[in-house]
Structure 1
Amino acid sequence: MNATLYLPHQPPQPVPADGLAMPDPATGLVGVPAAVPILLECAAELVDVLASGPGFVAYLIFDCEGEVNPAAMAAVGELAGVGFELDDEDAVLRGPVLVIR
């Protein structure tokens, strides 16, 4: 398992996977381990599961108004099989995004 933090306008940063977890293989349920809000530098109640599937989970800060994060959109789009449009204000990812594989 590896974890990558995507910050706007910065290269992806590998981060320690200690304390992180993948979706439950039997149910597909995803929790928010205590390490996630620490890595995203936010309160635990602001963490949202952006996408998950077999072998990955992506977290972001709920309703973040930070800068657009194109690198995170590319990474999550590839994993989740979705497309993000930079000109669609409601669909862009903003702020930090944590992806665990």
Structure 2
Amino acid sequence: MPVLDENTMSGTFYGVHVIDDESGAIAATHDRRKATAALRAYYQFTDGSSLLAGEFDFADLTRGWGWFEERADGPWHFCSVDRPDRPGVFPALWLCI
């Protein structure tokens, strides 16, 4: 099973690991303030876009637990779970854009 490391994360911004999944970016933290800063920095770094408060409501970040699942059509996929009771689970906040 893949784990949260340099092969699965897209970068670290303000001390928060960011994962770019096919459905959007994921911040590996439960701290909304840190997640917001990390996701803003990630999008600024990757494509020069700035996520302004008027465009996206960061209060709508989904809080949960994540883990990586191997897939037949690719190396891995981010999955969310309600409880942190499986190996490899990490805290996560995500915004699908």
TM-score (norm 1): 0.30
- Which of 1 and 2 has higher RCO (CA within 8 Å, sep 6+)? 1
Q: Which has the higher strand share?
A: 2
Q: TM-score, normalised by structure 2?
A: 0.31
